[in-house]
Structure 1
Amino acid sequence: MEHALPTSNYRPEQAIAEIADFIADPVRSAEFPTHILRFRNDRAAATVGLDRLDDAQWLAHFGRFEVLPDAQPEPLALRYHGHQFRVYNPDLGDGRGFLFAQLRESAATGGRLIDLGTKGSGLTPWSRTADGRLTLKGGVREILATEMLEALGVTTSRTFSLVETGEQLVRGDEPSPTRSAVLVRMSHGHIRIGSFQRLAYHDDTDNLRRLIDYCLKHLLARDPGENAALTLLEEVVHRTADLAASYMVAGFVHGVLNSDNIAITGESFDYGPWRFTPRWEPGFTAAYFDQQGLYAFARQAEAIHWDVAQLAQSLVGLAETDALVEVLRRYPAIYEQRLIARFLWRLGLDSPDEATARTFVVAAVEALLEGRVPIDRFFFDWRKGTRDVPLYAGPSWDKARDAVAALTARPSTHAYWQGEMPCSMHIDEVETIWSAIAERDDWGPLHEKVAAIRDMGKALRP
């Protein structure tokens, strides 16, 4: 096939080759009966010089997985272990996906190393008893999750491509048979806490050091200094504490915060049973199987902190234990700082000092905990200055109003703020969008929702 002419933004990389010998297995994509392009993220593609591909070329690379020019020669399924609901599992790895290519972002968008990884691309050595496939509904849900989170300022993977593949799948949690798809996600690295746990489990110290060096060099942009392991942990603590804070301010519940689902870049990824909680409900869960509420809305920071502690445990022997523990202890304070900062960001507020900001956020959360006001409604109304209405009546809201008076509001001139309702993404909306696809093959509601979400994202970044 003929490729689109390369652009200055197209910069393929093969950094993963530095560690592929111990962290990955070469694999091949499944051969699918058909390839129907359902979603292509040209906004994301432009950052890595792939937006000029026509649809046929797009399907060749992201449906049949023909190698991109000068990119890595074969897909790689990554190996890792992890704690799943705090039970250690040494039998993990990419069971229905692989690392397809690495590219360098344009300088204008940060110049970071970017992975293009798949979901639903077929069997790998780590598939176990699964079929290596993805349902079309699962792909649609991932589009909605990543678009909404990106708009709300969460550091997240981005859904790059979704191709329907023409197979009929049987699933216990969906009406079956159901349609199949293959998804490509764009991420800043796929190395996770479980990647380190696997090497520690095998007492593979030499490759642990190699993995640390790879992450600091290519993913975290940090000089290793005198103690590379400690530098790595410091960076992960900061990034994951911010991730947990961003989930709270977005009203998001990931659902499965196992240690194999926590990227060391602090980038959210792998969206299965996610949900947005309508109200600030601490015990709200996303996964029906999370019967103990381990990953409930208000426990996500605790869960991620616990996962990061498993990373620290994997680094024992490469750094002083007391130093590792001291870094871990900083997590709660960083989380609180980032929660306050992100809370004010979503409201378009500036504070003269940390104490004033904290007073307001504590008051606002206490009022939200009463459960009368939806999270999205609160951020929408208070961002545009609608605070003195019956919905916000009562002593708790009076306290929040008094506290916000000490803060400075940034101008909110985007047309989004002139509307009557906030953009949201609750389960009934997700099901309505999917029903249009399942019943009528109508993709209009999905594309309309993505456009509305992106409009909100622009409004939040004036």
Structure 2
Amino acid sequence: MSDFKPARNHEALGDAFYDRVTPADFPQTILRHRDHRWARRMGLDTLSEAQWLDHFGRFTPLPGSLPEPLALRYHGHQFRSYNPELGDGRGFLFAQGHDLNDNRLLDLGTKGTGRTPWSRGGDGRLTLKGGVREVLASEMLEAMGVYTSKSFSLVETGEALQRGDEPSPTRSAALVRLSHSHIRIGSFQRLAYLHDTEGLQQLLDYAIATYYPELADAADRPAAFLSAVVGNVARLGAQYIAAGFVHGVLNTDNINITGESFDYGPWRFIERYDPDFTAAYFDETGLYSFGRQPDALAWNLTRLAECLVPLSSIEALEPALNRAWPEFRAELPRQMLRRLGLKPGDTEGDAAFVTRLFEFLGTSQAPFEQFLFDWRGGALSAERASASPSAQLYASEGFAPIADALAGYQPSDDVNLDHDYFARARPRTMLIEQVEAIWAPIAESDDWALLEKTLEEIAQMRQAYGQA
């Protein structure tokens, strides 16, 4: 652990922003997943399994980092209903450290590690299945180039949990999530709700100093901060669409100020283009459906803007907020072309191409990920696409304008078509039935082989797309 560069920056905010808590004492700790790549980047790759379990199963503090876990305080809108009783109810900020590659400050936060003052009657635990699902979501999104938290560690904890939405009793786990920041829109909402202008200013100053230091000398720091957050969150929305991903619960407490995706509950990937596809069975109105995610993110950004009014003015903040939709509309073609391994052309032409592409995907119901896989590099992949399971759709009259448009693009420098991944007939996908198939042997016979094979395939996909 000699390379680990510890930090404890979040303590500087003071006790009004968090509660010091004690981790749960679990009956057992069994290591189920360890992110070796990111462990190396954090200087934690030399830990033995026993040491790893001591820190990420028993939560013995990492040397030089936080001496006690911090349960962070925040509020939030949940399905657009304000809830002032949130906060870290089954997790905490365990440690902070620096990425050895670029020196960024990173947080090690937990999920399923016991009760806190914000548990609201919950048991503070996480199901093992929920932990496995989070590993799969974060690994898959990272491979697709989405700015996401990483599932740093998953430890089975030996408790039997009662849950109404799955067969009970079920197995338990403690997840450690690696993120750039755990400050959420809801962190600002709490202070605005309490009319704590001094606290708002303190949190803003900390956020700028820690995550947006380039804004330190801005004439209107709140407006500059809002503009930066708007740009990053709009990019995330475009990345979701380009990945065919539905987060499922885009509440304000699930949107952080760095535009990094995290907290994977009822997530789904779409099989075919369907703007109305929802991930959560309880999302009865489709508020967070696939196609409405950019709107949900823009709504959440409006809530952040409202919080900043006491520190600035509506007149100054409004232009920054109004960037949300133009930023998303500009970013979506970039993200779609990135996934297709194509160099951007002119802005208007790229936007028109992506519009036609979504029209084709909607009309033809071509498998979403299969299409992006088949046409990686545009015309360079025409022969590959002709052997695809979807080849008949590409021979249709409706595809002709898309083929012509693809032929007009140059492949990106990292198109990487000679990678073994692109020799497959079908891409690696993560549809709900595949998730259930991965979980079934774990639940039935403690067989982890399919999960391990799947993670190997995702690693190959990540390397092929240049996300290693």
TM-score of the two chains, using structure 1 as the length reference: 0.96
Give the 3 Å change call, closer, same or farther, for CA 220–445 of structure 1 in structure 2: farther
Query: Is 1:174 matched up with 2:174?
Result: no
Q: How does 1:345-356 map to 2 (within 5 A)?
A: 345-356=338-349
Letter in 2 for 1:130: G
Match of 1:376 in 2: 369
Unaligned runs of 5+ in 1: none
- Of the three residues 416, 438, 448, the one matched with 1:433 is 438
Distance (whole Å) between structure 1 residues aligned to residue 398 and residue 278 of structure 2: 26
Distance (whole Å) between structure 1 residues aligned to residue 209 and residue 271 of structure 2: 40
Contact 1:359 1:403 in 2 (8 A): no
Contact 1:351 1:406 in 2 (8 A): no
Unaligned runs of 5+ in 2: none
Distance (whole Å) between structure 1 residues aligned to residue 348 and residue 205 of structure 2: 38
CA displacement, residues 94-119 of structure 1 (integer Å, 9 cap, x when unaligned): 0000000000111x2x2211000000
Distance (whole Å) between structure 1 residues aligned to residue 150 and residue 312 of structure 2: 34
Query: Is 1:112 matched up with 2:114?
Result: no
Distance (whole Å) between structure 1 residues aligned to residue 36 and residue 25 of structure 2: 25
Instruction: State the 1:447 CA deviation.
Output: 1.1
SS at match of 1:37: strand
Match of 2:117 in 1: 125
Match of 1:303 in 2: 296
Instruction: State the 1:387 CA deviation.
Output: 4.5
Contact 1:114 1:188 in 2 (8 A): yes
- Of the three residues 329, 340, 359, the one matched with 2:322 is 329
Match of 1:46 in 2: 40
- Of the three residues 286, 291, 309, the one matched with 1:316 is 309
SS at match of 1:114: strand
Match of 1:401 in 2: 403
Contact 2:393 2:399 in 1 (8 A): no
- Of the three residues 85, 95, 116, the one matched with 1:91 is 85
Contact 1:357 1:407 in 2 (8 A): no
Q: Percent identity?
A: 52
SS at match of 1:273: coil
Give the 3 Å change call, closer, same or farther, for CA 314–371 of structure 1 in structure 2: farther
SS at match of 1:58: helix
Instruction: State the 1:355 CA deviation.
Output: 2.4
Match of 1:134 in 2: 126
Distance (whole Å) between structure 1 residues aligned to residue 213 and residue 359 of structure 2: 38
Match of 1:253 in 2: 246
Distance (whole Å) between structure 2 residues aligned to residue 459 and residue 401 of structure 1: 23
Match of 1:265 in 2: 258
- Of the three residues 321, 332, 350, the one matched with 1:357 is 350
Instruction: State the 1:221 CA deviation.
Output: 3.5
SS at match of 2:214: coil
Distance (whole Å) between structure 2 residues aligned to residue 351 and residue 189 of structure 1: 30
- Of the three residues 417, 420, 429, the one matched with 1:415 is 420
Instruction: State the 1:320 CA deviation.
Output: 1.8
SS at match of 1:280: coil
TM-score of the two chains, using structure 2 as the length reference: 0.95
Match of 2:149 in 1: 157
Distance (whole Å) between structure 2 residues aligned to residue 337 and residue 443 of structure 1: 42
Match of 1:62 in 2: 56
Moved more, 385-394 or 258-267: 385-394
Letter in 1 for 2:434: E
Contact 1:193 1:260 in 2 (8 A): yes
Moved more, 355-364 or 19-28: 355-364
Distance (whole Å) between structure 2 residues aligned to residue 395 and residue 315 of structure 1: 52
SS at match of 1:370: helix
Distance (whole Å) between structure 2 residues aligned to residue 289 and residue 28 of structure 1: 32
Match of 2:181 in 1: 189
Match of 1:236 in 2: 229
Instruction: State the 1:262 CA deviation.
Output: 0.3
The number of aligned residues is 454
Letter in 1 for 2:466: R
Moved more, 152-161 or 220-229: 220-229
Letter in 2 for 1:249: A
Query: Is 1:453 matched up with 2:465?
Result: no
Distance (whole Å) between structure 2 residues aligned to residue 147 and residue 285 of structure 1: 21
Distance (whole Å) between structure 2 residues aligned to residue 264 and residue 99 of structure 1: 16
CA displacement, residues 419-441 of structure 1 (integer Å, 9 cap, x when unaligned): 11101000011001000100110
Match of 2:211 in 1: 219
Letter in 2 for 1:105: D
Query: Is 1:22 matched up with 2:10?
Result: no
Distance (whole Å) between structure 2 residues aligned to residue 94 and residue 222 of structure 1: 30
SS at match of 1:117: strand
Distance (whole Å) between structure 2 residues aligned to residue 12 and residue 135 of structure 1: 30
